[in-house]
Amino acid sequence: MNTEEEESLKGQAEIWEHMFAFVDSMALKCAVELGIPDIINSHGRPVTMSEIIIHLKTTTSSSSPNVDYLTRVMRLLVRKRIFTSRLHQESNQILYDLTPSSKWLLRDSTLNLSPMILLQLHPVFLKPWQYMGKCVQESSFPFEKAHGCDGIWDFALANPQFNQLFNDGMGCTAKIAVNMMLAKYKDGFKGIRTLLDVGGGTGSMIAKIVESNPHIKGVNFDLPHVITTAPVHPGVTNVWGDMFVDIPEADAVIMKWILHDWSDENCVKILRNCYKAISKTKNGKVIIVDCVLQPDGHGPFDKTGLAFDLLMMIDTGGKERTEVEWNMLLKSAGFPRYNVIQIPTFPSIIEAFPECR
């Protein structure tokens, strides 16, 4: 086989792999729904398929889980390094164990991405992708095409069960982000008396920040239908409102995965309201927890950033932004200076200051 034939074969193989990339995602969802990582973890050692099946029989309504189906699902997930497998020489049975990846799927763990998997792979979120080509042609909004409403928040307002799923997904990522922030950005909270979390959802992120920084008075700010389901956290006040209209005064404002949901025009409106909210504070700042896109980067989350950019296009009409785009956006809203701080998770921290100093 000559070089041209080898390149052609490689190209064909890559297309087949991309074509069925969704299978990896759905197999992962299957494992999360069945609680396979938790079953393995509960034994404290590698387990056989028989032990997994026995656990499924005793914890679900099904008396006869399909062994063949699950064996084939696990074979794929082992290939994708979600689990490991090895043959036990004495029993001649395959033993399955966790990997650094599947440890992020344990439901009892503080750092758990399972709710985000169940959210992103829910039919509500998958359906709009079917309209991507048509919406590129028509310059229309895929989520609206799929569900007949303006966006995720309108859909969540009309569907309480999905709203809970959405809050759980956002909540688990907030826990991961705040844990990394408290480890790598703890000095960033010094001198802040009042910290307002715009779009704070159930308030889990601001609650964790206040717990570690008891000198801070926390405010969880979100839409009415979100705040009505938000629990009470010590040191945190739940306040409902509209960030496009007005944001309550605070020493500092924090926003996690908010601005990537919106167009540049809408982001400028939000940021200008943030500017007003902190304008009476001498050392006020806006803490943005969001992706800084690196289209040609080779970092651990750079591919995820590109995927998230299309996710925003599909579900919210928003976008991920490069540092150049962040700079332009912040200057348009009156923030002439900013810092980008990397933390060991997908989003970064962007500190925006209303004046040079």
Task: Give the pLDDT confidence of 127-170 residue by residue, as tens digits.
Answer: 999 999 999 999 999 999 999 998 888 898 899 999 899 989 98
Record the tokens describing residue 330, joined without a space: 């912040």
Single out the catalytic residue among 18, 147, 260, 298: 260
Q: What is the pLDDT along the chain (357 residues), one digit of tens a residue?
A: 899 999 999 999 999 999 999 999 999 999 999 999 999 999 999 999 999 999 998 877 667 899 999 999 999 999 999 999 999 888 889 999 999 999 999 998 989 999 999 999 999 999 999 999 999 999 999 999 999 998 888 898 899 999 899 989 988 998 899 999 999 998 999 999 999 999 998 899 999 999 999 999 999 999 998 898 889 999 999 999 999 999 999 999 999 999 999 999 999 999 999 999 998 887 899 999 999 999 999 999 999 999 999 999 999 999 999 999 999 999 999 999 999 999 999 999 999 999 754
Sequence letter at residue 283? N
> Which of these, 250, 240, 242, lies nearest to 275 by C-alpha position?
250
Which DSSP category does 61 fall into? Answer: S
Sequence-distant (≥ 6) Cβ neighbours of residue 257 within 8 angstroms: 170, 173, 199, 289, 290, 347
User: What's the angle, vertex CA 254, arms to CA 329 and CA 225, rounded to 5?
Assistant: 105
Interatomic CA distance for residues 117 and 111, integer angstroms: 13
Record the tokens describing residue 115, joined without a space: 């709710």
Contact 260, 319 (CB under 8 A): yes
Q: What are the pLDDT digits (tens) for 59-98? A: 776 678 999 999 999 999 999 999 999 998 888 899 999 9
Q: What are the pLDDT digits (tens) for 115-124? A: 999 999 999 9
> Which of these, 336, 196, 215, 322, lies nearest to 256 by C-alpha position?
196
Q: Is 55 a catalytic residue?
A: no
Interatomic CA distance for residues 219 and 216, integer angstroms: 10
DSSP string, 268-326: HHHHHHHHHHHTTSTT-EEEEEE-EE-TT--STTHHHHHHHHHHHHHHTS---EEHHHH
